[in-house]
Chain A
Amino acid sequence: MPSTTALIGTRKGLFTLTVDGDGFDLSPPAFAGVKVTNAVRDPRDGALYASLDHGHFGVHLHRSDDGGATWVEIAAPEYPAKPAGVSEINPMSQREVEWSTQLAWIIEPGHPDEPGVLWCGTIPGGVFRSDDRGDSWSLVDALWQMPARLKWFGGGYDDAGVHSISIDPRGPGRLVVGVSCGGAWRTDDGGASWTVAARGMRADFVPAELAGDPDTQDPHRIVRCAAAPDRLWTQHHCGIFRSVDNGDSWTEIAEAGPSTFGFAVAVHPDDPDTAWFVPGVSDEVRMPVDGKLVVTRTRDGGQTFDVLSNGLPDVAYDLIYRHAFDIDATGDQLLMGSTTGNLWWTGNQGDEWHEVSNTLPPIASVRFV
């Protein structure tokens, strides 16, 4: 089989996984001891980007132009000063929202026709754009200044955060971003204007009359089918939803194996009806249903689901974070990493899973390169 590489971001550094005919090889960690929130390879020039969360010492981004052999620190997204007299209260916590980067949650390379452009989603809810491979960043002001943003609140963190930036292959500057908890938003003009893209999602963490408010939905992760770019899937806090119109509307999938709760979702790059999820017991518990880790897969747009467990442990309490599940460009390989430090790989769309390691640090992200 051809060799495949993936970046594994963990609580204690960034590992590089190589999969080939001889099995699995994990590199020693880059950034040993540091939490790596996310890492990605830019397919346009081969550069690697890593987002580090130093906790006490803030958020820092690094770039490698030699496949990870060496890294240089680049600029981190930095918010402008909050104007004098402006007060923004997080409606859930009733605390002031600071204009300060708490987490660089996702870095996404831009469209192939705009080399050097990167997008970064952050907590407290801002999207940043770089035109120079991360040497500088600017806040996407139109999204940050939307009145609806003042309704956002945190999901898992105190403040809202942008975790998904889905690039539309049909042209530069066309994105759908997912916000926990602030719904989904689409721009078709490089971020100059935004329209809500969360209608049809349903929240059960607010009073019933607010359940359909698109501005405060909690899509945990949004992914797009590369070959059918109007087709999106989300694993939402309150279930699974799909869109066939680039986020204009969403339809709930009511049944999906043991549970429709989870964080992770992957869609086949060529077949928009084929998608994978990792179900868990509802939000209060956040572990596999009955202690049995499974992956669910639909091949018919969510009408039916296979429950996949071949190669996965019979008893497990692993949680798969939203960025710790990825599919490769062929649509055959998936990787799944857990908060327990387990990493699994499949080469046949989840029919059989293989344990790569069960001794890694807690895994925040996995990404094929």
Chain B
Amino acid sequence: MRWIWIDKFIEFQPGVRAKAIKNVSLAEEHLHDHYPGYPNMPNSLITEGIAQTGGVLVGETTQFTKRVVLAKIPKVSFYRPVVAGETLTYTVEIEMLMDEGAMVSATSQVDGELQAELEMVYAYLGDEHVNPNLFQPQDFLLHLRQLGLFDRLPNLEELGWNDWPGLQSAEEVSWKNGKHHAS
């Protein structure tokens, strides 16, 4: 199973803003260790979910041709604990895009109440790094579909996604005619 810490994108404005939600449930085992008798969602995993939301937002700006990694969290504040039954809404906005990476600002909210505020810096991995692919294209595509990203994107052609090198091969392997052939 993939390390996925968001459930669904609910808004996606390419190059501008992404919103995703995360439902917190007692069925999640990690809550029982954090902490016994007082289960609450670890802030580290909230940070991971926000980083994933922003990572897709940043990655989309280059049609996922660059490998985006979270490099630094210059600022972070948490204001309240999150317990089972609550839904977190992560909002990430791009502050700046550069050749080397991107900076974003982000919030986490529960029912409109501010739960966390962050700044994040993403860097693009250079060619000198060993593993050329962070994901297999078809796995990544499946992952984005599961998160409902395509329901939030009105027009793939307009975004230049049809030119995304990974998309075609991924489509051929897994999604042609709605059939899933990926191994």
Q: Do A and B come from one complex?
A: no
